[in-house]
């Protein structure tokens, strides 16, 4: 199996186009054309993790965090990033990062956190816009269903919990085949009028080329007329953070105890208790303070995230309980998510989780 195949599997789960503009997800070292000897999954790609991969005959390290996040002007081993890259390149180890694109899908990093808390009826806290497009095409009436089905099969027509969504209108198309044309209907040099259906479907932008190929393959016309429009609509199952409800209303102390037990926390930094009962919980793995106002607007009783600065705690303004559980701690189950996804698809292939704890933060108790 080529590394490219594993990459396609990961990008089906979390397309690269869903990553944030500042991110560096994707293949960082190595080549997708290499044969994959084994996969090692980790939260962070450090030099020790690369050495672990070598010892376990895994030439692909799948990490949540990109080891290269800023531009490198020199690679001489002066810091952990450069040491990691040097060791990976010298030993033909491919590093693949699946970062904010995995954060931004509904069944991604935040879903793992929600599962540990027991949240129900979860949805994206802040959906992303400008990720949707609309395709409009025209097909002979008797062939419209075939073209429409091909578009659905290629990924078009999904809106939230609904699939195979389209809008169809009937009309008359006109065209005149040229001397070099081989028309499906009509004659060269004569204008043809044909009963057609106008088919409209929406789709995630990253599927555009796939949809066009599927449409052309299924369409009877030699030249296929179509329009593609960019939309401002939200893609409701893609975006930052998550919000959901506890099965049973609880108090703030009990919720913090639940977090401490289920995430193996040594401590939780939080704002003063509001005294309100907790039912609606918003969360974001990693550094998510930018979603605090979204959590408030959504009516959350608690917002759980990490990397909150001193003055940012004031922004809760007693409206919401803000809890910082730690960056590594909030995302630690991402390795389980990726392991489960890959082993389901490749049950007989060497997919391993790192045995190392890569958390750089230590606690003196």
d(CA 95, CA 299): 40
CA 201 to the chain's CA centroid: 22
How far apart are alpha carbons 307 and 299 in whole angstroms?
22
- Taking residues 82-105, report their average pLDDT: 98
Chain centre to alpha carbon of residue 88? 26
Token readout for 42 is 């980790």
- Taking 90 as the threshold, does the pLDDT of residue 365 lie above it? no
- In the predicted model, what is the mean pLDDT of residues 279-286? 98
What is the arithmetic mean of pLDDT over 268-294?
98
- Sole residue written with tokens 């995302």: 331
Q: How many Cα atoms occupy the beta-carbon half-sphere of 300 within 13 Å?
A: 30
Q: What tokens were used for 230?
A: 């960019």
For the stretch 213-248, pLDDT in tens is: 999 999 999 999 999 999 999 998 999 999 999 999
**Which whole number is the average pLDDT over 262-266?**
97
Strand partners, 162: 159
Can you point out the beta strands (E) in the chain? 26-29, 39-44, 60-65, 94-97, 119-129, 132-140, 167-175, 192-204, 226-230, 234-250, 269-270, 278-287, 302-306, 321-324, 351-353
Q: Which residue has the tokens 């105890």?
A: 257
Q: State the Cα–Cα distance between residues 140 and 150, nearest whole angstrom.
A: 15
Question: What is this structure's pTM?
Answer: 0.91
Distance CA 237, CA 343 (A): 24
pLDDT of res. 160: 85
Q: What mean pLDDT comes out for the span 92-98? A: 98
To the nearest whole percent, how much of the chain has pLDDT over 70?
Answer: 100
Q: Is the pLDDT of residue 350 over 90?
A: yes
For 32, 67, 83, 128, 197, the CA distances from 59, given in Å and listed in that order, are 11, 16, 17, 34, 51
By residue count, the chain amounts to: 365
Coil, strand or helix: which one is 79? Answer: coil
Q: Tell me what the mean pLDDT of segment 20-35 comes to.
A: 97
Distance CA(11)–CA(101), nearest Å, equals: 9
Res. 76: pLDDT tops 90 = yes
Q: Which of 364, 136, 110, 345 is nearest to 244 (CA)?
A: 110
CA dist., res. 338 & res. 42, Å (int): 9
Which candidate, 2, 62, 58, 8, places its Cα nearest to that of 32?
A: 2
Where do we find the tokens 């503009």? 21
Given a cut of 90, whether residue 167 has pLDDT beyond it is yes
In the numeric block, which tokens belong to residue 307? 């990397």
| pLDDT of 59 strictly over 90 | yes
Do the beta carbons of residue 45 and residue 98 sit within 8 Å?
no
Distance in Å from the first CA to the final CA of the chain? 47
* pLDDT band at residue 71 using 50, 70 and 90 as cut-offs: confident
Range scoring the smallest mean pLDDT among 61-65, 160-164, 166-170: 160-164
Tokens of 223: 């030249």
What does the alpha-carbon distance between residue 126 and residue 238 come to, in Å, rounded to a whole number? 8
């Amino acid at each position: 199996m080529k590394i490219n195949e594993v990459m396609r599997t990961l990008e089906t789960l979390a397309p690269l186009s869903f990553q944030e503009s500042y991110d560096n997800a994707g293949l960082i070292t190595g080549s997708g054309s290499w044969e994959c000897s084994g996969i090692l999954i980790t939260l962070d790609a450090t030099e020790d993790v690369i050495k672990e991969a070598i010892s376990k005959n895994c030439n692909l390290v799948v990490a949540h965090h990109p080891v290269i996040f800023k531009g490198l002007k020199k690679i001489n081993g002066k810091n952990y990033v450069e040491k990691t890259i040097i060791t990976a390149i010298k030993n033909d180890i491919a590093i693949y990062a699946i970062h904010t694109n995995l954060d931004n899908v509904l069944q991604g990093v935040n879903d793992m956190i929600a599962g540990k808390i027991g949240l129900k009826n979860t949805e994206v806290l802040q959906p992303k816009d400008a990720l949707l497009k609309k395709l409009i095409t025209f097909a002979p009436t008797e062939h419209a269903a075939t073209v429409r089905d091909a578009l659905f099969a290629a990924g078009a027509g999904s809106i939230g919990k609904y699939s195979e969504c389209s809008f169809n209108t009937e009309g008359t198309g006109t065209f005149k085949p040229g001397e070099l044309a081989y028309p499906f209907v009509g004659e060269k040099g004569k204008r043809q009028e044909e009963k057609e259906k106008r088919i409209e479907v929406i789709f995630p932008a990253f599927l555009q080329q796939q949809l066009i190929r599927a449409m052309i393959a299924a369409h009877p016309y030699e030249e296929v007329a179509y329009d593609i429009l960019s939309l401002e609509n939200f893609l409701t199952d893609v975006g930052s953070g998550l919000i959901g409800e506890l099965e049973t209303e609880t108090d703030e102390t009990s919720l913090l105890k639940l977090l401490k037990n289920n995430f193996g926390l040594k401590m939780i930094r939080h704002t003063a208790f509001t005294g309100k009962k907790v039912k609606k919980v918003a969360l974001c793995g990693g550094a998510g303070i930018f979603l605090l106002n979204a959590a408030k607007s959504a009516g959350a009783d608690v917002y759980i995230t990490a990397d909150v600065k001193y003055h940012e705690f004031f922004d809760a303004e007693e409206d919401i309980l803000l809890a910082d559980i730690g960056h590594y701690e909030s995302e630690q189950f991402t390795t389980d998510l990726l392991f489960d996804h890959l082993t389901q698809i490749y049950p007989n292939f060497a997919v391993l989780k790192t045995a190392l704890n890569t958390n750089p933060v230590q606690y003196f108790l």
